[in-house]
Structure 1
Amino acid sequence: MKICIFGAGAIGGYMGAKLAEAGADVSLVARGPHLAAMQARGLTLIEEGETRTYPVNASDDPAALGHQDYVIVTLKAHSVPPVVDRMQPLIGPDTTIVSGVNGVPWWYFHKIGGPLEGTRLASVDPGDAQWNGFGPDRVLGCVVYPAAEVIEPGVVKHIEGNRFSLGEPDGSKSERATRLSEALSKAGLKAPVRPKIRDEIWVKLWGNLSFNPISALTHATLDVLCTDPGTRDVARNMMLEAQQIAEKLGVKFPIDVDRRIQGGADVGAHRTSMLQDLDAGRPMEIDALVGSVRELGRV
């Protein structure tokens, strides 16, 4: 089984290191100093106080890697549409695209049934680049829970969490989902196959759509913004408004808002991915985390 992680930053690097440790046939697509460091010295993972370095097949040229069984996309949401054409050499007749991207996924209305079946989302897939370039039948949903940071080129620090929930758009327990779940489990990761992946997408998005922009505005870490009365109230109101949209689409939340906020507080003094991007001068996932929910509210 050939697995390519496209976008081997913090989360992709963490997953890649775990797969490499387990002996999987995994390749990583990255760029810049992070890529150069991995090519020169390997990928270093700091986890639970231990530091290990793994030799990895890292490249910035998808054509050099060839067709894959799975392409796991761990880029920022806004970075995916511009690179769909570059990814084509990785995609063979039976390749599965695993969408491990934050926010509302571009394939959300694929195989959902009902009057919204096939609806496209311009906020996350402008010009239908992914819908047309990948094809929705290739997609396998993935909700990414770990927190990690690239603390220097070639070095990823794992903060907490090891679950990557998988799910087919139609809710079936397919062979391709089961095979990937087994490979990730062998690497020491939790990879349950969920029958209602959209519900799980929303549980994570609940936090992302509130915690991330608030952290970018205040520079607060999760422990602070989830417990300070002012920021907590803003987050709670944002989440309740989003819940109304999700429930209109048939989503059932397995937990309530206050438990979700407590889950954020329990992560501790972690900078959200949006705050990390802001501090580094990188584009932020505003459309995927906020604009997409607004678009859903108008569907």
Structure 2
Amino acid sequence: MSKIFVIHENNAWVEPLRDAFKELDLSYEEWFLDEGVLDFSSAPPEGVFYNRMSASSHTRGHRYGPEYTAAVLAWLESYDRVVVNDSRALRLEVSKIAQYAALRRYGIRTPRTLAAVGTQNIVAAAREMPAPFITKHNRAGKGLGVHLFHDVASLERYVASPQFEQSVDGVTLIQEYIQAPEPCITRAEFIGGKFLYAVRVDTSQGFELCPADVCQIGDLACPVGGETAVTRPRFEVIAGFQSPDLDRYQHFMQDNGIGVTGIESIVDEHGVRYTYDVNTNTNYNSEAEQKAGLYGMRTLAAYLGRASGQLPVREFAATAA
């Protein structure tokens, strides 16, 4: 039996996991990795290390959290410690271009995307993309920095304005806009490499789609549903969700060091599914889960309890059912 170590940089997002650890009486320790000193000459403690470092850490003042975490994960992996969401997963977390390149290897369709560095090149790339199109940051999180444009002239004015948001890694993506028959996306949640459930997310209020209860929607960057009022929950677990991509997602996760993730996709008016984001520090919406009787953080805690030897295998299976 060994301890669980949780690597993160956002206390609020870890609170539900702490409650789940307490409920299951699991031994754990948190490593808050916004900065620090790492001694490569010493051996790390024995245990199971769960990495939930976020691509959006810079929005909370933790600019180099992912870089420091990359160093820590390299250290842990050099000693063959068990890491859930290892250095390969972190690389995908902080780069959507890396995500799309990896997803493509498994036959998973992604939107047509151009990557540009420099405002002039952003505009030049947009001229290659039929309107409407969207821009987004290569390294972001929560849908931050997503904007919808109906013509290149609007984008040109935006990038020349004080409102222009530069991606923290300098890479802006210009991406085809997928026209869905209704304003929603699907987020498929996986724990221990296994599908747990899919949630329907209403996008009529904008693209800041973090499902955590503590996430607040401020200025809405990109409404896509017109002026119609929202008549259903923003987050809603989909009963009996099925898609051929589920198996592809699981193979993708297995080969890329991902044990826990939420994968977002959208279906166009022709029924074609496009996958556009992989979240390896996934959160869950308590209201949606309560209605469905499925609980992501408790399932996650039980999975880590099993991996650390603190819980028998049957505990995770019962919790995930």
Pair in the same fold by TM > 0.5: no
Q: TM-score range by the shorter chain?
A: 0.3 to 0.5
- The TM-score normalised by the length of structure 2 is 0.31
Please tell me whether Structure 1 or Structure 2 has the larger radius of gyration of its CA atoms: 2
* Larger relative contact order (Cα-Cα within 8 Å, sequence gap ≥ 6): 2
